[in-house]
């Protein structure tokens, strides 16, 4: 039997990454930010002077993914995010990144007891039978403000209106693509974080996830 999985999908800067990290820490599960895979691929294309919308360029980068660079600040830039969204619409690129995600779920690293994976298509495509699924969203202005703050904290100064525009554009593209579009899985619980700080959002996430996981978890989760 595969280990328990929590799928956390949602819009850009909705707080899904932070929630996924905290859920993973709470349950002692491994965490995968699947967006990093798309961002690393985008970085590879951009650094090679390629076109993220071109299948041959994007696929070559997806196949040569350098996981060692997963923590690099440059991955967080909007240019990389926009390029990631472009190549994320290419079916063969998604297929090339699928195996890594499924492996992570089937064999969580560090012999962790389970996995929390965040992204856009985790509950719909990567792991449709996940034990618990969240779909995280918030008002675009709130998400843009959070992203702007996050970037400022990283020393990246941006115009907030521009951040909002890019975010709305990227969500629209992610929702409209033909392959693995951003959408709430039928059995995912919706979590709107518009009016929630991170602690309140985590409490709400836990309240939604814990009952769904209960049957699968033998031991009492760690606090
Ligand atoms: O989550 P993050 O903003 O890092 O994702 C960057 C882009 O990668 C998204 O806009 C989306 O197009 C793509 N992505 C995806 N499927 C995932 C994770 C990310 O298509 N599971």
CATH classification at residue 142: 3.40.50.300
pTM of the model: 0.95
Mean pLDDT confidence for 116-136? 98
Q: How far is the CA of 26 from the centre of ligand 1 (A)?
A: 24
Residue 222 inside a domain? The answer is: no
Residue 94 inside a domain? The answer is: yes
Residue 183 inside a domain? The answer is: yes
Ligand 1 site-directed mutation target among 32, 38, 134, most atoms within 8 Å of CB: 38
Q: Where in the chain does DSSP place strands (E)? A: 5-10, 30-33, 115-119, 132-137, 189-192
Kindly tell me if the per-residue pLDDT of 7 is higher than 70: yes
Q: Whose CA is nearest to atom 12 of ligand 1?
A: 85
Range of the domain at 32: 5-205
First-to-last CA distance in the chain?
25
Average pLDDT score, the chain:
94
Kindly tell me if the per-residue pLDDT of 218 is higher than 90: no
Residue 217 inside a domain? The answer is: no
- List residues near ligand 1 (CB under 6 A): 12, 34-35, 38-39, 81, 84-85, 88, 119-122, 170, 174
Q: Which of 4, 13, 44, 7 is nearest to 168 (CA)?
A: 13
Higher pLDDT, 218 or 127: 127
Residue 211 inside a domain? The answer is: no
Kindly tell me if the per-residue pLDDT of 220 is higher than 70: no
**Which atom of ligand 1 approaches the CA of 118 most closely?**
21
H or E element at residue 52: none
Count up the domains in the chain and report the number: 1
Residue 215 inside a domain? The answer is: no
Residue 14 inside a domain? The answer is: yes
pLDDT band at 222 (very low <50, low <70, confident <90, very high): low
Residue 107 inside a domain? The answer is: yes
């Amino acid at each position: 039997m595969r280990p328990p999985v929590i799928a956390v999908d949602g819009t850009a800067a909705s707080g899904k990454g932070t929630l996924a990290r905290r859920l993973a820490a709470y349950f002692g599960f491994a965490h995968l930010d699947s967006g990093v895979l798309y961002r690393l691929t985008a970085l590879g294309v951009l650094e090679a002077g390629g076109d993220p919308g071109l299948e041959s360029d994007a696929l070559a980068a997806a196949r040569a993914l350098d996981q060692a660079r997963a923590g690099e600040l440059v991955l967080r830039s909007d240019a990389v995010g926009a390029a990631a969204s472009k190549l994320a619409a290419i079916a063969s690129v998604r297929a090339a990144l699928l195996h890594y995600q499924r492996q992570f779920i089937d064999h969580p690293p560090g012999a962790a007891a389970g996995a929390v994976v965040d992204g856009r298509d985790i509950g719909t495509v990567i792991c449709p039978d996940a034990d618990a699924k969240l779909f995280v969203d918030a008002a675009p202005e709130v998400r843009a403000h959070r992203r702007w703050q996050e970037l400022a904290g990283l020393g990246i100064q941006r115009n907030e209106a521009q951040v909002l525009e890019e975010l709305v554009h990227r969500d629209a593209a992610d929702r409209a693509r033909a392959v693995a579009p951003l959408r709430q899985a039928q059995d995912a619980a919706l979590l709107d974080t518009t009016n929630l700080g991170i602690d309140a959002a985590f409490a709400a996430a836990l309240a939604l996830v814990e009952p769904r996981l209960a049957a699968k978890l033998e031991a009492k989760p760690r606090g």
